[in-house]
Amino acid sequence: MKTMDKLLKDALVKYVAGVLLVGLLLFIPAGTLNWRNGWLFMGILFIPMLIAGIIMYLKAPKLLRSRLNAKEQENEQKTVIGFSAIMFVSAFILAGLNYRFKWFFMPESVVYISCVIFLLAYLMFGEVLRENEFLSRTIEVSEDQHVVDTGLYGIIRHPMYTATIFLFLSMPLILNCIYSFVIMLSYIPITIKRIRNEEEVLEKELKGYKEYKQKVKYRIIPFIY
């Protein structure tokens, strides 16, 4: 029970910290709290995140614990994470500034379509979490880990990254900022770099992964990559 209580506390602290951080990065540059797209984005991001967290806490605490662990051991991945952080901070601040100074706005239809894409990508991410109990935020191989090759993993080797690409590229469009979208495009090469390093680790440490690569040819997009 004490372990579960600590897990709940850690999850709540990180969740609240995430809400506050994103809110500050968006609304301070915007110069106002009266920004509909900002609140739309906050809701569409953090409400499903809260629901997913509650489900993991009740049904899969081990998975939640691994998702909360952000201490990367691979030096190459620390660099990747650093670039990712710069990307997110820059994109959110720029979106707020775009709203404040009214630089350029896209049609509202783009915002609504992006919301649909975001939610579908969130559902895909949730399915990945359901299929793979070993899905960690860091590159690591646990003692009891085995290769997952069913469901989405039978189609592409890294469906989590496919989901996050759609999630992250739709974020700036929900915020109605094409400039932030250009910045977020850098997530694609960042993801490719992370995948290459991750697969090197998995080939060395996860039994059966080399055979899995022969079975499932594509990493994130069928017939493309």
Give me the CATH number covering residue 25.
1.20.120.1630
Which of 4, 98, 11 is CA-nearest to residue 51?
11
Any domain includes 97: yes
Any domain includes 43: yes
Residue 142: the pLDDT is 65
Any domain includes 134: yes
Residue 30: the pLDDT is 98
Any domain includes 84: yes
Any domain includes 206: yes
Any domain includes 36: yes
Any domain includes 222: no
Residue 76: the pLDDT is 60
Residue 81: the pLDDT is 81
Residue 89: the pLDDT is 96
- pLDDT digits 0-9 by tens, 179-225: 999 999 999 999 998 898 889 888 888 889 999 999 999 999 999 99
Any domain includes 119: yes
Range of the domain at 62: 2-215
Q: How many domains does the chain have?
A: 1
Question: pTM for the full model?
Answer: 0.88
- Residue 209 CA from chain centroid, whole number: 23
Angstrom CA distances, 132 to 52, 57, 101, stand at 15, 16, 44
Per-residue pLDDT 10s for the chain (225 aa) are 455 588 888 899 999 999 999 999 999 999 999 999 999 999 999 999 999 889 888 888 888 887 777 665 556 667 778 888 999 999 999 999 999 999 999 999 999 999 999 999 999 998 998 888 777 655 566 667 888 888 999 999 999 999 999 999 999 999 999 999 999 999 999 999 889 888 988 888 888 999 999 999 999 999 999
Residue 56: the pLDDT is 86
